[in-house]
A and B are shown apart, each in its own frame.
Chain A
């Protein structure tokens, strides 16, 4: 009992250390550059305590729940030997985690405003809604496809850089033809799709797969799923902007 309390305290100190750069930056700019006092000091302290607690629990849960389940699933799929179910699972995981992502909902709503402003769609709420929903499904589909391609790469042992360079070439080519208003959103959508829960799961899945398939190196073949998941949305969002 005593031991686990000490372990908890140590990891909380670790979380505090992780947060200290943010606190320093804020203090420096608030006092020395903007020269203003800190507003709502009590709220700030309570908030910081919550953040430290939350980060500690998250890391605990990561090692207890997310990593083991990702790895055991990867092992089970590898032993089952059915590529179809594995790829279906990969697609479901990519699609399912992205469709509900709050950051993506926010971005697609902003994109619909831009499209309405630029005159691509009618500026009625209904048209904007359907545009935003269409965009959200497009991105979710593209992330599902990305995980499928990534898992296929692990199964086949393809070198990652050819696929990524091919993706870059597609992004650059499409940039030339896409409407200017959509480009910023499209580039950003690559970064926002990968949430805090998806990343550990997908990483554990990739590493687990690469370690259970003979002839694959977990370092070289296990990573890279996230890279695909942040590349395909750019391509698909620009395509969406061009077609509609």
Chain B
């Protein structure tokens, strides 16, 4: 009974999110485009699936994963846990003592990104558009690594109290440099994957981690230092996705060169001495 009540509440909340979007889409469709929607029934059914699916998803997260995740973030940032090897709680702690937090940040960043629905949507589309050159899993895993690294680094920043904009500015410079070397096709997708990574699953857990950490570490203000993890989580996937494309391109090139070399040695007509071109890099 309680579940049913919860389901209805979540359903209404999700409907509230979807309604403005649906109103804009169908409003423009009927008033400006003035043509019937192809397969209207199917599309409406699809919208219903999205609403139901998102509601069940959020409800399940709220029931199972969020409370536990938040509790773990709290427990791991608690002074008693961090200083459990010490005889007494020292005034000043080296940043290395928070190693479990960095590991947790990395692990939770990676695993929540793999489960992020909006990233799945973009990955499906990208693989479709690129004709399979960008694989769904390749994109998801490289984004997940970027988020994981970003959140771990963000935790290090909270622990040390360094100003956030130094990290972000250096990150921007790296992104700009990498843009010149990355395959041109990947650049827009890489920029996009910064924004899509942080939605339903990642944001609540990561925010809890950041606020808990800022509360525990001596000398940190929750208001100034507690925020910023999301910014880290949306910067590093840009680099990791471009990196993924660079590696994939290089492997593809090497394979092609190998194939060509093989064909040349296989074909009897070819007898030029320099044909098996070995790759310098």
Contact = CB atoms under 8 A, between A and B. Distances in A.
Interface stretch (B86-94, B189-197, B252-260): B189-197
Interface string A25-62: 11011100110101110011111111111111111111
Contact of B53 (A54, A68, A73, A80): A54
A220 B17 CA distance: 30
A195 B17 contact: yes
Interface stretch (A98-106, A119-127, A128-136): A98-106
Interface of B: 3, 13, 16-18, 20-21, 23-25, 28-29, 32-33, 35, 37-39, 42-65, 67-69, 71-72, 75-76, 81, 100, 104, 107-108, 110-112, 114-115, 117-118, 120-122, 124-126, 129-130, 163-165, 168-169, 172, 175-176, 179, 184-185, 187-189, 191-192, 194-201, 203, 223-231, 233-234
Interface residues of A, number: 106
A54 B56 contact: yes
21 contacts: A18-B115, A22-B112, A43-B63, A47-B64, A48-B65, A60-B53, A65-B50, A100-B17, A100-B20, A102-B17, A183-B164, A190-B230, A191-B197, A196-B54, A196-B118, A197-B50, A203-B192, A219-B185, A223-B189, A225-B192, A227-B192
A164 B173 CA distance: 12
A218 interface: yes
A227 B188 contact: yes
Contact of A51 (B65, B110, B225): B65
Nearest to A103: B203
A207 interface: yes
A230 interface: yes
Given A110-B227, A187-B168, A195-B199, 4 more contacts: A50-B63, A58-B54, A60-B46, A171-B172
Nearest to A24: B111
Contact of A50 (B13, B57, B122): B57
